[in-house]
Chains A and B, each alone.
Chain A
């Protein structure tokens, strides 16, 4: 079944914008290609560093299932669809 999970959330009323996922936001606010360079501007290396430290942090929080190297059944204990650290604060 082709499931389209549409989450436009705001096409009708932009002010009703529901909180966006942090990962989606970081993809964009840290996107490559800058037009404006500041006196301080994150370099690509800095951004990669952010991504790495994010991963490390999330791993250390323990929200992460082990790598799927081992042929294990799906872990039912991943109750939260999102790691808690990424949950949205309005």
Chain B
């Protein structure tokens, strides 16, 4: 069924966007496998290059996507495949990563986006040049446990004792959470002051992170490549100063968290 008419042929593939860059050496792309197992392609326009994968509509069309996104195995494979491309690109060039599941119907649509938003891309690429994203997560370090239930007065038997103990635990936990939140804010402010840009993601659910304690900080920081050592030193120093938090540094990441201009005025949390 290879008819070519005036109308757009009944497409079987959509175009999955990985990211936009100023340009990559042809050899770079040849070695990168895209979203559906095929090599990625370059779609050049307006002095920019969009790096894309052909994505079968049966799997990446709108309906299929919606269904597949609820399949954790599919989601993981897809997120990792997308990330592999973006990470490879960002090692070779400056790249504006696309969010997961940014799909266009064909190359012409991609070209149009590049042309229409050329200035914005150019500005973003300039902002991201020679910088990487680093993640700093802060996990709550539990304080000393509340004193065990003392078999003293108060009366009321086991039930009342239980309630007292429970109340003490809750109070201790609230205080601990407040202390951790303050420490997280202080750490974030210090890191943001050093980084070129910063934002806070929502703390990860423990059920997803598998961490044994709650997360108080899930920060992302855009850091100049030649200042990374100092940034890591700063993280270590902050960890010493804020023993209520266990800090974890991850990176370098492609600048996923910094593709959008920071919102004017509002600082700090995202």
Which A residues form the contact surface with B (CB < 8 A)?
1-11, 14-15, 17, 19-42, 46, 49-50, 53-55, 57-59, 63-64, 71, 78, 80-83, 85-86, 89
Contacts and interface: CB of A to CB of B under 8 A. Distances in A.
Contact of B169 (A2, A20, A37, A71): A71
A8 B259 contact: no
Interface in B196-253: 201-202, 204-205, 207-210, 212, 218, 220, 228, 232, 235-236, 239-243, 246-253
Nearest to B208: A23
Contacts of B201: 27-28, 31
A20 B212 contact: no
Contact of B235 (A6, A25, A46, A71): A6
Nearest to A78: B212
A29 B100 contact: yes
15 contacts: A15-B91, A20-B250, A22-B80, A24-B135, A25-B79, A26-B75, A28-B220, A29-B82, A32-B270, A33-B259, A35-B120, A38-B101, A54-B208, A55-B208, A80-B210
Nearest to A64: B207
Interface string B1-26: 00000000000001001001000000
B65 A36 contact: no
Contacts of B239: 2-4
B191 to A, nearest CB: 13
Contacts of A83: 207-208, 210
A85 B72 contact: yes
B255 to A, nearest CB: 9
Contact of B204 (A15, A27, A59, A89): A27
Contacts, number: 193
What secondary structure prevails in chain A residues at the interface with B? loop
Given A7-B250, A36-B102, A26 B135 contact: no
B79 A33 contact: no
Interface in B136-193: 141, 165-166, 169
Contact of B252 (A10, A34, A36, A38): A10
A52 B87 CA distance: 27
B119 to A, nearest CB: 12
Given A22-B79, A27-B218, A54-B72, A34 B240 contact: no
